[in-house]
Amino acid sequence: MGDLVLGIETSCDETAVAVVERATVVRSSVVSSQIDQHAQFGGVVPEVAGRAHVQELVPVLAEALATAGIEGSEVEAVAATTGPGLVGSLLVGVSAAKALSLAWGVPFVSVNHLEAHLYASFLEEPDLKMPLVVLLVSGGHTMLVLMDGHGRYRMLGSTLDDAAGEAYDKVARYLGLGYPGGPAIDALSADGDPEAFDYPRALVQENPDTLPDDRRFAFSFSGLKTAVVNHVRAEPDVSTADVAASFQAAVVDALITKTGWAIEATGAVGACLGGGVAANSLLRERFAILCEESGVRAFVPSRAMCTDNAAMVAAAGWWRLKSDGPSPLDTGADPNLPLPLLN
């Protein structure tokens, strides 16, 4: 089985290529961000993202190989994100991965973007023990996943409406803080009072047993977003820093409370953060405290491994190749590809 895997990630607005050995040793990880190109529009524009991937993929690939100190002929498998994501962006990476697979005569491996995020922690902490509760939080997804073993996942709960990162972006846009909203609100919150306003924490209460089973580990951020917008609309002179801090406190309270319930309910021995919102300073702090109080091992990836990157794709690809073998070359991009779960 190929131990040296080249990973390609183009699911949204980062063009990334990495070379990873045996899913643990990162030989190179190169990311070209498109934030500046999308900031003027207040969010990711799919057409702009797709064109940028076409322009950036070859130079990023060349840099990744050079940094790893290898020739393309030394790569033993090529893994690429096939979904979920923006279909135009996905197609760029998937097409390139298949072409390289054919040119180098090595296996092609289809990787689920969400599964890749689950493996980001293992790149920096290969000895993590399972079962693990993983809080995966990004602009497109918010979910609690129980990782029973490699490739063995159970969905505990996910958002019923907006993802946490999506709520951050929408609130930041309304407050005039620009894009991306997460870092802007996180930075401004340091100057605000998180207790200034009591914004709603949907589906969060003292006793989780009072919630229906399909709501116990679910999230909802649409009402919170609306509450903030209505508040600022009614009081336009309110302190923006206080609004940002109070909003962030409400989001993190919901995430941490549900994670604590999941740890207790599953008997997990550890917990991990994943996804772009995992770079949030308050969430990282509260997550570490929660795990210490719960008596489980906590792992919070470096910020570079929280955001989209190809090293996590290569790592997930190595495990998928080990368990399932190569993916068919007629595997296409799927913008709604679900996380593969146990029945």
| Listed range (123-137, 200-214, 233-247) with the worst mean pLDDT | 200-214
Q: At CA 165, angle to CA 56 and CA 24, rounded to 5?
A: 60
Q: Which CATH number among 3.30.420.40, 3.40.50.1820, 3.40.50.2300, 2.40.10.120 corresponds to the domain 130-301?
A: 3.30.420.40
- Can you say whether residue 136 is alpha, beta or left, with left for phi > 0 and alpha for psi between -120 and 50 degrees? beta
Question: Could you read off the pLDDT of 55-107 as tens digits, one per residue?
Answer: 999 999 999 999 999 999 999 999 999 999 999 999 999 999 999 999 999 99
Quickly list DSSP for 224-275: HHHHHHHHHHH-TTS-HHHHHHHHHHHHHHHHHHHHHHHHHHHT-SEEEEES
Burial 251-276 (b: 16+ CB within 10 A, else e): bbbbbbbbbbbbbeebebebbbbbbb
pLDDT at 207: 77
If you search the block for the tokens 């969430």, which residue do you land on? 283
pLDDT band at 236 (very low <50, low <70, confident <90, very high): very high
Question: Quick check: 343 pLDDT over 70?
Answer: no
**CATH code of the region 4-118+306-324:** 3.30.420.40
Question: Quick check: 117 pLDDT over 60?
Answer: yes
Domain ranges of the chain: 4-118+306-324, 130-301
Token readout for 116 is 């890749």
Assess whether the region 4-118+306-324 and the region 130-301 belong to the same CATH fold: yes
Question: Could you read off the pLDDT of 253-308 as tens digits, one per residue?
Answer: 999 999 999 999 999 999 999 999 999 999 999 999 999 999 999 999 999 999 99
Question: Could you read off the pLDDT of 97-110 as tens digits, one per residue?
Answer: 999 999 999 999 99
pTM: 0.93
100 near 78, Cβ under 8 Å? yes
